[in-house]
């Protein structure tokens, strides 16, 4: 090959590529169909898997047709502060020192200064230096209908903090959804739309899943609603950072932004998981996806519907995995169980006599192959439940009983509906810690994690501390909920914002 031809070849390839891009999409599609039709001399039939001629590659078309209408597209609007303060910079400081120059803007926002000779000519004109309103940010996700009266399950990260949630069905109908509850620990949320006789999914049992089994996902990747993707179960019981209470199902199903909250089906057409996370270095699918087991999701969803929050058991220990070296050091026959590295002072485990260095081998008679199994199983039990543990101490086993405490729920949904068809308070709150009470010089109170609906409209902000409702002190979400339920459509919240206390009236009915 001579040198000129060597350089011409990639240039020709580039030109061909450019021309191909210019071909109408319909022409490309038809060309593809023609090529496929020409290449296939026989009708398309299921192809036997190479390793097992008796096995057939699955056809998901009937499942998509039957259960696709129960999968919804969710769009949300979240108001995000621009971060500009009264001095016209982006330092995030909310202090404006109360210096109002009388023209509707703060002194720091006046580009000429309050004493400038030009100020009278420009007073009141929209320079854009005034503190901007929160900017709406839109996002999309998926969900699936679990009850025909409009109850929908999705991911917490899809709707958490949203000021507006819209659900679109496959028949193009749209509804404004009400957030029933959000649990960030499990990444599960329950919302509801005002509709009846809706198609629903069938709930399965994720415990029956096997690694290598085919599964199907339906959702809205990148906003392309009701898209179906398939793959296999890659692993079970995966524990991810900051998600220690969920034994994730790992799959190779293509999951992308917008799929969050959508269902994962098994070959029986039953939902076995809620698509939640992907592992990616680019923001897109890279072959590893994670779904919340439907058993965990339904348990959380039921609590959110009945109480508005999720209760979990607490053992009161810090654990670590047992390596071969640790097993040899403790005289264990094999590396298994959960090694207790720290025991919470005054916690349930300490009261039962568990010590640092104990290895928990069994929970209620079930062996613990990995330390990650312990917090997952304990979290599924109700506070006050008595569990039996088999532990390894001083080269021998012994049995112990522990009465579980309550794991503090730092993000409790307090979406209150005091009257049927009425408004909601729209707050997600958590109790103040002892340190926060001491630093804020307050007793009791709950801190606002998320404000939406009537509360946001009234001016309640994330970080505000609610001290009282209609004169009644508030120390947790239940007390706040009770005060709102007793109100007659209006509730006066005493809040502390920084060093300032003020009453904020909220219309809730």
> What one-character-per-residue DSSP string does 325-378 give?
HHHHHHT-SSS-SEEEEEE-TTSHHHHHT--TT-EEEEETTEE-SSTTHHHHHH
Q: How far apart are CA 166 and CA 143, in angstroms?
A: 11
Q: Considering the candidates 85, 105, 157, 163, report the single residue annotated as catalytic.
A: 157
DSSP H or E run through 233: strand 227-240
The per-residue pLDDT of the chain, averaged, comes to 77
Token output for 401: 């009983």
User: Which residues have a Cβ under 8 Å from the Cβ of 490 and sit 6 or more positions away?
Assistant: 505, 506, 507, 508, 509
Name the β-bridge partners of 190: 153, 181
* CA-based max dimension of the chain: 91
For the question of residue 464 being annotated catalytic, the response is no
Name the β-bridge partners of 400: 389
For the question of residue 260 being annotated catalytic, the response is yes
3-state secondary structure of 106: strand
Q: Report the pLDDT value the prediction gives residue 51, as an integer from 0 to 100.
A: 56
Positive or negative: CA dihedral 299, 300, 304, 310: positive
pLDDT tens readout for residues 298-335: 999 999 998 888 888 999 998 888 889 888 888 899 99
Cα torsion through 404, 409, 412, 418, rounded to 10: 30
Give percent above pLDDT 90 in the chain: 39
Q: Considering the candidates 85, 110, 183, 187, report the single residue annotated as catalytic.
A: 187
b/e per residue 412-438 (b: at least 16 CB within 10 A): bbbbbbbeeeebbbbbbbbbbeeeebe
Q: Report the pLDDT value the prediction gives residue 279, as an integer from 0 to 100.
A: 83
Cα torsion through 342, 348, 352, 358, rounded to 10: -20
Q: Report the pLDDT value the prediction gives residue 433, as an integer from 0 to 100.
A: 78
Q: Report the pLDDT value the prediction gives residue 468, as an integer from 0 to 100.
A: 87
Q: How far apart are CA 408 and CA 57, in angstroms?
A: 47
Q: How far apart are CA 471 and CA 505, in angstroms?
A: 12
Q: How far apart are CA 314 and CA 317, in angstroms?
A: 8
Token output for 236: 């079970």
Q: What are the per-10-residue average pLDDT scores of the chain (509 residues)?
A: 43 30 33 35 46 70 94 88 42 38 40 50 46 69 96 95 93 94 92 96 93 96 91 90 81 93 96 91 83 94 88 90 87 91 90 92 92 88 93 93 80 38 64 78 84 83 87 84 79 84 77
pLDDT tens readout for residues 155-199: 999 999 888 999 999 999 999 999 999 998 899 999 999 999 999
Q: Which long-range contacts (CB under 8 A, 24 or more apart) does 466-474 make?
A: 466/427, 466/429, 466/493, 466/494, 466/495, 467/442, 467/494, 467/495, 467/496, 467/501, 468/493, 468/494, 469/493, 469/494, 473/444, 474/444, 474/445, 474/446
What is the 3-class SS of 149-211, one letter each residue?
CCEEEEEHHHHCCCCEEEEECCCCCEEECEEEEEECCCCEEEEECCCCCCCCCEECCHHHCCC
Q: Considering the candidates 86, 260, 291, 371, report the single residue annotated as catalytic.
A: 260
3-state secondary structure of 323: coil
What is the 3-class SS of 121-161, one letter each residue?
HHCCCCCCCCCCCCEEEEEEEEEEEEECCCEEEEEHHHHCC
Q: How far apart are CA 243 and CA 141, in angstroms?
A: 20
Q: How far apart are CA 343 and CA 276, in angstroms?
A: 32
Q: Looking up tokens 């599609």, which residue turns up?
A: 29
- The closest alpha carbon to 159, from 147, 177, 172, 145, belongs to 177
pTM score, whole prediction: 0.62
């Amino acid at each position: 090959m001579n040198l000129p031809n060597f350089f011409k070849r990639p240039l020709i390839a580039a030109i061909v590529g450019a021309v191909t891009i210019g071909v109408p999409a319909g022409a490309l599609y038809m060309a593809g169909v023609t090529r496929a039709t020409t290449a296939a001399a026989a009708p398309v039939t299921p192809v036997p898997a190479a390793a097992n001629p008796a096995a057939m590659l699955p056809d998901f078309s009937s499942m998509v047709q039957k259960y696709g209408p129960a999968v919804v597209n969710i769009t949300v609007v979240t108001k995000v502060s621009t971060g500009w303060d009264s001095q016209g910079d982006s330092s995030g400081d909310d202090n404006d020192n109360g210096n109002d120059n009388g023209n509707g803007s703060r002194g720091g926002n006046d580009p000429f200064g309050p004493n400038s000779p030009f100020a009278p000519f420009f007073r009141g004109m929209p320079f854009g230096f005034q503190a901007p309103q929160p900017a709406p940010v839109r996002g999309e996700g998926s969900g699936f209908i679990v009850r025909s009266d409009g109850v929908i399950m999705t991911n917490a990260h899809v709707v958490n903090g949203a000021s507006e949630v819209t659900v679109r069905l496959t028949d193009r109908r749209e509804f404004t959804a009400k957030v029933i509850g959000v649990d960030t620990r499990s990444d599960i949320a329950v919302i509801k739309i005002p509709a009846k006789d809706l198609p629903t999914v069938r709930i399965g049992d994720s415990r029956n899943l096997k690694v290598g089994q085919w599964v199907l996902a339906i959702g809205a990747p990148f906003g392309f609603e009701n898209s179906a993707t398939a793959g296999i179960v890659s692993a079970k019981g995966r524990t991810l950072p900051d998600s220690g209470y969920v034994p994730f199902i790992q799959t190779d199903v293509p999951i992308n932004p917008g799929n969050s909250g959508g269902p994962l089906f098994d070959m029986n057409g039953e939902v076995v998981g809620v698509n939640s996370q992907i592992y990616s270095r680019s923001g897109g699918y890279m072959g590893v996806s994670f779904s919340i087991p439907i058993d965990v999701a339904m348990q959380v969803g039921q609590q959110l519907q009945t109480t508005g929050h999720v209760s979990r058991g607490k053992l009161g220990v810090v654990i670590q995995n047992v390596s071969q070296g640790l097993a040899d050091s403790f005289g264990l026959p094999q590396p298994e169980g959960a090694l207790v590295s720290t025991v919470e002072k005054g916690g349930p485990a300490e009261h039962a006599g568990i010590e640092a260095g104990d290895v928990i081998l069994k929970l209620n008679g079930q062996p613990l192959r990995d330390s990650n199994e312990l917090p997952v199983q304990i979290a599924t039990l109700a506070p006050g439940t008595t569990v039996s543990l088999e532990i390894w101490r001083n080269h021998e086993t012994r049995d112990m009983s522990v009465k579980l405490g309550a794991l503090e729920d730092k993000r409790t949904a307090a979406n209150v509906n005091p009257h049927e068809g009425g408004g909601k308070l729209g707050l997600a709150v958590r109790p103040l810690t002892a340190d926060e009470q001491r630093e804020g010089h307050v007793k009791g109170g709950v801190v606002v994690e998320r404000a939406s609906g009537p509360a946001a409209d009234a001016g309640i902000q994330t970080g505000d501390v609610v001290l009282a409702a209609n004169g009644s002190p508030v120390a947790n979400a239940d007390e706040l909920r009770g005060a709102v339920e007793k109100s007659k459509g209006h509730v006066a919240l005493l809040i502390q914002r920084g060093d300032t206390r003020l009453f904020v009236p909220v219309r809730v009915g």
